[in-house]
């Protein structure tokens, strides 16, 4: 099933409810997984200003009470993701699968292969953040083993993007990986990790936990990195570990076309996400 459609804030109500019915009818054995920026929280000029609207947060709290697994998978650090959403009873996967913060936990589990690169990434970031890049108002976000450079809303976005592109070339020549997002560049360790890893982490429970086995899951996202989450969810379903897997794209002017093309359902912005959460209830 692909591209159920868009209507106002959400897909046509009957079709949306029909698509989500396997999850709605058995919430204890279902998972609700969501991106944060651009999905639960509006995209803002300064990343540190992001927040989840109270109406969305209230719905998510109710979702967490009913569904077997509820979690957010974000490019943010896991602790930062929890601060933005402000719900302690759900799980958070940060740094695109590199960090895990379980519900109610006080410490973040960091992938060892990622942690090994933290010092080198930080050293590169310090040397790369030159006076010229500061003059262009490029903002640096410290995510431990990942450093993100943002230029949304700076006085000259074109010049800033060019300066960041030059930095990306330097990073690659020094052995780092780079990843482009919506007016953001991440300098990362050359380690294989993405949101599909986060999907695996959240859907495969700790064997010491007495969690119910899952039969269905929905993932909601708005950007290129969410394609990895779509792929991960479908791979798990393809192995027969889920009967139902629903991939939802959040449409916007900046949403990548391939995300919408690969989605089962498309909703329109944060109002559409709220409509989807309401439908799950």
For residues 242 and 216, the answer to whether their CB atoms sit within 8 Å is yes
pLDDT band per the 50, 70, 90 thresholds, residue 11: very low
Distance CA 27, CA 216 (A): 9
d(CA 178, CA 188): 6
The Cα–Cα gap between 228 and 219 comes to 11
User: Phi and psi at residue 40, in whole multiples of 5°?
Assistant: -80, -35
pTM of the model: 0.81
The dihedral built from the CA positions of residue 78, 30, 262 and 240, taken in this order, carries a sign that is: positive
Quickly list DSSP for 202-263. Answer: HHS--TTS-PPPP-EEEEEE-STTHHHHHHHHHHHHHTTS-SEEEEEEEE-TTS-HHHHHH-
Which element (helix H / strand E) includes 179? strand 177-181
Q: What CA–CA distance (Å, rounded) separates 71 from 90?
A: 5
Is 90 in contact with 36 (CB distance < 8 Å)?
Answer: no
Give me the sheet containing 139-142, strands edge to edge. Answer: 139-142, 147-150, 184-188, 177-181
Whether residue 124 is predicted with pLDDT greater than 70 in this model: the reply is yes
pLDDT, averaged across the chain: 88
Count of other CB atoms within 10 angstroms of residue 170: 14
> Most distant CA pair in the chain: distance in Å?
57
80 band by pLDDT with thresholds 50, 70 and 90: very high
Query: Which residues on adjacent β-strands are paired with residue 219?
Result: 33, 247
Give the residue from 114, 116, 242, 234 showing the smallest Cα distance to 186: 114
The structural domains of the chain, ordered by start, are 13-111+193-280 (3.40.50.1000), 113-188 (3.30.70)
pLDDT of residue 125: 86
Instruction: Average the pLDDT over 96-120 and give the result.
Output: 88
Q: Considering only CA atoms, which of 235, 227, 246, 217 is closest in space to residue 4?
A: 246
13 pLDDT band (50/70/90 cuts)? low
Length of the chain (residues): 281
The pLDDT value given to residue 130:
85
Per residue in 195-254, pLDDT (tens digit) is 998 899 888 855 445 456 899 999 999 998 899 999 999 999 999 999 999 999 999 888
Q: Where are the alpha helices (DSSP H) in 86-205?
A: 112-115, 118-128, 131-135, 157-173, 195-203
With cut-offs at 50, 70 and 90, classify the pLDDT of residue 1. Answer: very low
Task: Between 211 and 107, name the one with better pLDDT.
Answer: 107
Nearest-angstrom CA–CA distance, 154 and 60? 33
């Amino acid at each position: 099933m692909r591209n159920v459609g868009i209507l106002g804030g959400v897909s046509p109500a009957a079709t949306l409810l029909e698509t989500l019915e396997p999850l709605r009818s058995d919430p204890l054995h279902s998972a609700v997984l969501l991106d944060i920026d651009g999905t639960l929280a509006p995209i803002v000029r300064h990343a540190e200003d992001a927040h989840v609207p109270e109406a969305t947060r209230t719905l998510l709290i109710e979702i967490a009470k009913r569904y077997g697994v509820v979690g957010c998978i974000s490019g943010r650090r896991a602790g930062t993701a929890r601060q933005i959403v402000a719900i302690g009873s759900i799980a958070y996967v940060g740094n695109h699968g590199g960090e895990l913060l379980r519900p109610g936990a006080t410490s973040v589990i960091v992938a060892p292969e990622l942690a090994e690169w933290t010092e080198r990434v930080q050293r590169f970031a310090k040397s790369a953040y030159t006076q010229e890049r500061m003059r262009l108002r490029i903002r640096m976000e410290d995510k431990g083993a990942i450093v993100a450079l943002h230029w949304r809303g700076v006085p000259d976005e074109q010049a800033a993007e060019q300066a960041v592109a030059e930095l990306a070339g330097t990073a690659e020549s020094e052995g780092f990986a780079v990843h482009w997002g919506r007016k953001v560049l991440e300098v990362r360790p050359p380690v294989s990790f993405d949101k599909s890893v986060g999907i695996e982490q959240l859907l495969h429970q700790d064997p010491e936990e007495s969690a119910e086995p899952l039969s269905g899951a929905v993932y909601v996202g708005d950007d290129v990195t969410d394609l990895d989450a779509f792929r991960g969810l479908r791979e798990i379903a393809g192995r027969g570990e889920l009967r139902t897997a629903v991939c939802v794209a959040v449409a916007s002017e900046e949403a990548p076309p391939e995300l919408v093309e690969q989605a089962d359902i498309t909703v329109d912005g944060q109002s559409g996400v709220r409509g989807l959460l309401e439908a799950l209830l």
